[in-house]
Structure 1
Amino acid sequence: MPSLFRLFSLLPLWLLHGVGAVLGWVVFLASGTYRRRFLANARQAGYRFADVRAAVGHAGRMVAELPRLWLRPEPPHCEMIEPERVERPWAQGRGIVFLTPHLGCFELSVQAAAHRWHAQFGPITILYRPARQAWLARLMETARNRPGVQAVPTNLSGVRQMIKALRRGEAVGLLPDQVPPEGQGLWSPFFGRDAYTMTLAARLVQQTGAIVVIARCERRSWGRGYTMHFEELPLPLSDSLETAVLQLNQAMEQTIRRSPSQYLWGYARYKQPRAEQAASAASTGGQVAP
């Protein structure tokens, strides 16, 4: 598998996306569980299959492009739309909490931002959980430890490092629609259905005064690279944690609706949280993201 991964990293992006699109449809047709979840999640958001069928291929593209993103030193071409929305908070000396849902090439969001801005504004800190398979853990370590990206462990120590980074006026990156372990989130509506939602993003903003910037990295057709869009929250986050979490869920919904054909509708967003590290996080009022 490592050799295959390295081989795929050398292929052009258009070919990787072509192979990935086929892979996406193979998995969709072969796995009844995945297919039912995909359709149910899209229906929950008000979409027919015809509206989001392209997302089947994009799920496969996400997998196929990983070797290119993880093993090549330079990120692929990514045009940034309205980068001033990122640069303005930094110019004010404020930290940034980058939020990226499971949409488009979310793996590239941190890489591209770090590649452009780390020399001027410092690294982007992310939480990192090593894979169980040794070969995959080594590959992921290579991907995470690149210039401008500071990977920290998924525990209280990692969260403290994120807080320190924000107070230094740096940035952190999170997937806010990822289901956190039990005791480290709140049940909050997401497309009209309660979903267990991390509180870490809201807590980081409330504790540091950082600015939320939503990054949406869309794939261009035929492997012609990517386009990154940046959005700001329409209103400041509430001081109420429950309300702030709801605000972020609503912001994620709006972002997904701008590009529903590239969202991972097959992700188990409404699953029950797993029991993990809940007691230690709750005892300090902290949050550990998965």
Structure 2
Amino acid sequence: MPFAFRLFSALPLPLLHAIGAMLGWVAFLASPTYRRRFLANAAQAGYAFGQVRAAVAHAGRMVAETPRLWLASEPPRCEAVGTECVEQAWAQGRGIVFLTPHIGCFEMSIQEGARRWAGAHGPFTILYRPARQPWLAKLMRTARSRSGITAVPTTLNGVRQMLKSLRHGQAVGLLPDQVPPQGLGLWSPFFGRPAYTMTLAARLAQQTGAAIILARCERLAWGRGYRLHLEALGEPLARGLEDGVHQINAAMERLIRQSPEQYLWGYARYKEPRSEPHVAPAEAGA
């Protein structure tokens, strides 16, 4: 494991966030491609740079805090609001699909959810794409399969495990604004522009009757920790796949507008999907 990764895992959160903020601005100023994409995505959502400039530093904080979130024995402080919607779903005996966009500390979203509820309701299942570097692939397998969390690869078996977990009344977690490979999504409006959007989140909920809970993990100022905001989707998920995907995209937009200064505007949300062997769309229901 690289020395820098181990070092960052031992540093206090306020220092990590300070270092990360500087790294975020270095990346923004040094990369014209990243800068253009950041500005274009923010403008697509109706934001001037002055309204979202804080997101430059938050992108760097995301990178700097990751080693600590993956390796530290004690997680940073995190409070939660809106937990009633989660408790209500568990009381109904339903599985839960937790959805969060690339906003704030989405790594902490799943860790805090598992810490609070995995003991009583079983582990949270998440998908991950193995890294190409052997050391990082090994680290991701161990770091993301922490206590109360089961990390499964983005394969047919991984999707089957998610379906199984939901049918047993457990929880899964997804980032539905992540661009899927060709054949695993459909084009759906995102801030008024067509974006290739995963169908998996809608399929999981439609096929199992699971509740959809929206999550947004806010970074608190001065490295004081995090605040996890939870809310129900607000209305039943549409039965049609296309309508369900549109509905989830609209929900992600609402979450992002709650805290636009912490969204990853530099993420290539509108890119063309890649073509590679993967789980065929129909196989999600296997």
TM range (shorter): over 0.9
Q: Please, what TM-score do these two structures have when normalized by structure 1? A: 0.96
User: Contact 1:126 / 1:149 at 8 angstroms: preserved in 2?
Assistant: yes
Q: Please, what TM-score do these two structures have when normalized by structure 2? A: 0.97
Pairing 1:209–2:209 present = yes
Q: CA deviation at 1:91?
A: 1.4
Separation in structure 1 between the aligned mates of residue 247 and residue 283 of structure 2, nearest angstrom: 20
Deviates more, 1:23-32 or 1:110-119: 110-119
- For 1:188, give the aligned amino acid: S
Alignment of 1:6-17 (within 5 A): 6-17=6-17
What is the SS of the residue equivalent to 2:280?
helix
Separation in structure 2 between the aligned mates of residue 86 and residue 76 of structure 1, nearest angstrom: 22
User: Counterpart of 2:148?
Assistant: 148
Structure 2's unaligned 5+ residue stretches are: none
Q: Identity, % of aligned pairs?
A: 69
- For 1:28, give the aligned amino acid: F
Pairing 1:225–2:225 present = yes
User: Counterpart of 2:284?
Assistant: 286
- For 2:63, give the aligned amino acid: V
Separation in structure 2 between the aligned mates of residue 76 and residue 115 of structure 1, nearest angstrom: 12
User: Counterpart of 2:95?
Assistant: 95
Pairing 1:179–2:179 present = yes
User: Contact 1:25 / 1:56 at 8 angstroms: preserved in 2?
Assistant: yes
User: Contact 1:97 / 1:172 at 8 angstroms: preserved in 2?
Assistant: yes
- For 1:227, give the aligned amino acid: R
Deviates more, 1:131-140 or 1:27-36: 131-140
Separation in structure 1 between the aligned mates of residue 253 and residue 73 of structure 2, nearest angstrom: 33
User: Contact 1:105 / 1:219 at 8 angstroms: preserved in 2?
Assistant: yes
User: Counterpart of 1:240?
Assistant: 240
Q: CA deviation at 1:231?
A: 1.2
Q: CA deviation at 1:234?
A: 2.0
Q: CA deviation at 1:285?
A: 4.5
How many residues in Structure 1 have an aligned counterpart in Structure 2? 285
User: Contact 2:156 / 2:283 at 8 angstroms: preserved in 1?
Assistant: no
Separation in structure 1 between the aligned mates of residue 283 and residue 159 of structure 2, nearest angstrom: 11
Separation in structure 2 between the aligned mates of residue 65 and residue 139 of structure 1, nearest angstrom: 15
What is the SS of the residue equivalent to 2:61?
helix
Output one character per residue of 1:174-208: Cα deviation in whole Å (capped at 9) or x when no partner.
00000000000000000000000000000001100
Structure 1's unaligned 5+ residue stretches are: none
- For 1:125, give the aligned amino acid: T
